[in-house]
Amino acid sequence: MNSRVIRLLLLVISITIFSTISEAKPVDLYKVLGVERSATQREIQKAFHKLSLKYHPDKNKNKGAQEKFSEINNAYDVLSDEEKRKNYDLYGDEKGSPGFTNGAYGDQGGYTHFTTSGQGNRQSTFRQDEWPWNGGGSQGDSRSSSFSFGDSSESGSSFGFDFGDIFSSIFGGGAKAGSQFGNFGSSTGSRFGSRTSPNNIHTVSSKVFKNEIMDQGMTWLLLSFTPTSKGYSILESVVEEVVSSLQGALKAGKVNCQSEPSLCEELGMYPSKSARVFVYSYKTGSKGSLQEYKSGWEAKNLKSFCHDQLPKFSSRVNLNNYDFSSSSVENKPRVLLLSTKKDTPAIWRVLSGLYHKRIVFFDAQTHDVSDSAVKRLGVDALPAVVGWFSNGEKHVLKTGIAVKDMKSAIDELTILLDRFERNSKKASSNPSTRPQQTESQEKQIPLLTASNLNVHCGETIPVCIIGVFRSSKGREKLESILSTVSKMSLTRRRNQVSSSADSVSFTLLDANKQRTFLNSFDKSGFKSKDTLLVAYKPKKRKYVAFTNEVTMEEVQRFISSILSGDIQFQKIRQNPVLLK
């Protein structure tokens, strides 16, 4: 076969290749997700979440579901990334240059190029005014084409490229095939496996967890997975949707348990076959803890779960009975939120977590600024925040708070609280501003004895809070804390009959003299504790013990949780008896 015939044959083959590519029907990524080209990132995210749930291979076993799922992931990979989406809209290619991609097409005109996988100059250039058709549908009338395949002296080919490379690229045989031909012939799951994570989900390592998450007061939504975990893509999109809707209230992170096995083992979040979702929260104590989410893949359910796990460091008080003139709790400044909400607002719960080591939080429900208690505080519009320095000095921090969205509101109130804390420290450092505490202002906590048992812990008392001590230092600490807490009118849930100030009584108990009494609750009599609290319901013969470190804040939270019904009581071992 002479050289002229060979050249003609090669020309026919090359034209056939380009004709095949040109006739491939382009796929509109926006249509794949069922959204308009003007769709917001939120709309794109929701569409992806809905479709990925529908076509995920774990849920949909119908023929073509796997291919459809990969197509959806491919579309979301491009459209969820601002830079890729911009390039796709301009050129039809997410990489920022016009070219043949798997289904991508442009509608903005411009250049189209094709690069082979051979060595040297392998680019074929087709100008918009020279190409007989346009990848993006530009309606040019030009019918001519231009072919330039590089130096004809290379590779023994007059066209300058190796046809073996081209065919291997198209059918997935070459290492460079994916980058040159838009992943023709590649695995349907390749897009899913390498998809860029959403911007709101941080990669969490052991160092990040220790320095930025653990005991920092912020609620975190954590996704644990391995590269082979089922459902990872869907859960990631669900987490992204939830954290986007609750910006400011929580953060999100993902933990690759293959690269961070010790962290996953330590936290108990190692996935078996499927990815798992946890919320790192402060709902149950001052130390953060993990709560696993197990209620399906719906974003609204996960959002509700996260809302329920937000911190509960703010104590609900009765505005008419609370003694705001009392000394500061643990020498900390205090802030009170006044609102019409029947429950503590989510924003206030978030802030109480962020500041729980520095500021004591309260909140109260009120319906009108004309209320006498509200007037006494100097508030003229709701919602409002009133603060007391650690020296007792009162300040109205903000009234008529307008909330545009959670993130902006938290940012604004964070600035307010930071300034308030700084001013409190300055005021406390000035001795002339410190109020003098008199003995008559202290409320004495009685010592529980056989003679006054019925008075302080009889069946007519709904809940009896018993401060147990084994040393004089422990007694002083408990007496000081309970004296302050007893002045607070912590409210009960509305479905409970009693809401009076007498619903809780406070007493002290000498553990060294009343071991039999403590044995009625616990077989060991809490021997290892110098101080603890026992909440006792005499009529129901039930109790719950607080054995963590006794601080003002923790005692206040413990009692608030009891009155709110958030703590479960257990049956006592026998009827408690006090020795004379």
512: its two tokens: 């060294």
Highest mean pLDDT among 133-147, 318-332, 369-383: 369-383
Q: Which of left, alpha, beta for 185 (phi over 0: left; psi -120 to 50: alpha)?
A: left
Average pLDDT for residues 247-264, to the nearest whole number? Answer: 94
509: its two tokens: 């108990």
**348, pLDDT greater than 80:** yes
Q: Which residue has better confidence, 96 or 446?
A: 446
The mean predicted confidence, pLDDT, of the chain is: 75
Average pLDDT for residues 337-357, to the nearest whole number? Answer: 93
Q: Which of 135-144, 160-169, 209-218 has the lowest mean pLDDT?
A: 160-169
Distances (CA, A) of 431 to 102, 277, 386: 74, 51, 23
43: its two tokens: 């709309």
Residues 360 and 334: beta-carbon distance below 8 Å: yes
pLDDT value for 454: 85
CB atoms within 10 A of CB 551: 14
For residues 240 and 541, what is the distance between their CA atoms, to the nearest angstrom? 47
Residues 399 and 380: beta-carbon distance below 8 Å: yes
For residues 26 and 35, what is the distance between their CA atoms, to the nearest angstrom? 17
For residues 445 and 200, what is the distance between their CA atoms, to the nearest angstrom? 51
Beta pairing partners, 361:
314, 335
For residues 507 and 527, what is the distance between their CA atoms, to the nearest angstrom? 19
Q: Which of 143-152, 460-469, 569-578 has the lowest mean pLDDT?
A: 143-152
pLDDT tens digit sequence for 522-565: 888 788 889 999 999 999 999 999 988 888 888 888 888 888 88
Distances (CA, A) of 357 to 266, 306, 317, 343: 25, 22, 20, 22
> What's the full length of the chain, in residues?
580
CATH number assigned to the domain covering 201-308: 3.40.30.10
Helix axis angle for 552-564 and 472-485, nearest 10°, is 50
17: its two tokens: 């290749």
Domain 453-571 has CATH 3.40.30.10: yes
Q: Is the pTM of this model over 0.85?
A: no
**207, pLDDT greater than 90:** yes
pLDDT value for 535: 94
Average pLDDT for residues 404-424, to the nearest whole number? Answer: 91
For residues 241 and 302, what is the distance between their CA atoms, to the nearest angstrom? 10
Give the pLDDT band of residue 224 (cuts 50, 70, 90).
very high
Q: Judge if 201-308 and 322-433 fold alike in CATH terms.
A: yes
**162, pLDDT greater than 90:** no
The candidate with the shortest Cα–Cα distance to 401, out of 392, 391, 411, is 411
The candidate with the shortest Cα–Cα distance to 160, out of 22, 7, 16, 17, is 7
Residues 235 and 223: beta-carbon distance below 8 Å: yes
Q: Which residue has better confidence, 384 or 92?
A: 384
Q: Which residue has better confidence, 210 or 178?
A: 210
Residues 6+ apart with CB under 8 A from 480: none
Average pLDDT for residues 67-76, to the nearest whole number? Answer: 85
Average pLDDT for residues 355-370, to the nearest whole number? Answer: 91
CB atoms within 10 A of CB 3: 8
Give the pLDDT band of residue 57 (cuts 50, 70, 90).
confident
Domain 3-193 fold is: Helix Hairpins (1.10.287)
Average pLDDT for residues 489-509, to the nearest whole number? Answer: 58
**8, pLDDT greater than 80:** no
For residues 143 and 405, what is the distance between their CA atoms, to the nearest angstrom? 55
pLDDT value for 406: 85
Give the pLDDT band of residue 459 (cuts 50, 70, 90).
confident
pLDDT tens digit sequence for 554-568: 888 888 888 888 889
Q: Which of left, alpha, beta for 38 (phi over 0: left; psi -120 to 50: alpha)?
A: alpha
301: its two tokens: 């359910």
Residue 51 burial by CB count (10 A; 0-12/13-18/19+): exposed, middle or buried?
A: buried
Give the pLDDT band of residue 449 (cuts 50, 70, 90).
confident
**333, pLDDT greater than 50:** yes
Element (H, E) at 473: helix 472-485
CA 128 from chain centre, in angstroms, equals 48
pLDDT value for 107: 40
**495, pLDDT greater than 50:** no
For residues 92 and 200, what is the distance between their CA atoms, to the nearest angstrom? 26
Q: What is the β-pairing status of strands 219-225 and 250-256? A: parallel
189: its two tokens: 């799951």
Q: Which residue has better confidence, 376 or 218?
A: 218
Give the pLDDT band of residue 25 (cuts 50, 70, 90).
low
**403, pLDDT greater than 80:** no
Domain 322-433 fold is: Glutaredoxin (3.40.30)
Give the pLDDT band of residue 18 (cuts 50, 70, 90).
low
Q: Which of 404-413, 465-474, 529-538 has the lowest mean pLDDT?
A: 404-413
pLDDT value for 143: 37
pLDDT value for 281: 92
For residues 126 and 113, what is the distance between their CA atoms, to the nearest angstrom? 6
Provide, rounded to the nearest whole percent, the portion of the chain with pLDDT above 90: 30
Residue-by-residue DSSP string for 283-338 = SSSSS-EEEEE-S-S-HHHHHHHHHHTS---EEEB-TTT--TTSPPGGG--EEEEE
For residues 442 and 327, what is the distance between their CA atoms, to the nearest angstrom? 10
The candidate with the shortest Cα–Cα distance to 77, out of 181, 278, 233, is 233
Average pLDDT for residues 342-350, to the nearest whole number? Answer: 93
**515, pLDDT greater than 70:** yes
**127, pLDDT greater than 60:** no
pLDDT value for 326: 57
The candidate with the shortest Cα–Cα distance to 536, out of 528, 545, 548, is 545
**405, pLDDT greater than 90:** no
**43, pLDDT greater than 80:** yes
Q: Which of 108-112, 183-187, 193-197, 489-493 has the lowest mean pLDDT?
A: 183-187
pLDDT value for 101: 39
Residue-by-residue DSSP string for 101-152 = -SS---SS---EEEE-SSSS--EEEE-TTT-SS-TT---------------T
For residues 227 and 195, what is the distance between their CA atoms, to the nearest angstrom? 12
Q: What is the β-pairing status of strands 276-281 and 219-225? A: antiparallel
**67, pLDDT greater than 70:** yes
Average pLDDT for residues 28-40, to the nearest whole number? Answer: 89
For residues 288 and 283, what is the distance between their CA atoms, to the nearest angstrom? 8
Domain ranges for the chain? 3-193, 201-308, 322-433, 453-571
Highest mean pLDDT among 24-38, 269-283, 479-493: 269-283
pLDDT value for 352: 93
**507, pLDDT greater than 80:** yes
Average pLDDT for residues 240-257, to the nearest whole number? Answer: 92
Average pLDDT for residues 171-180, to the nearest whole number? Answer: 34
Residues 6+ apart with CB under 8 A from 411: 248
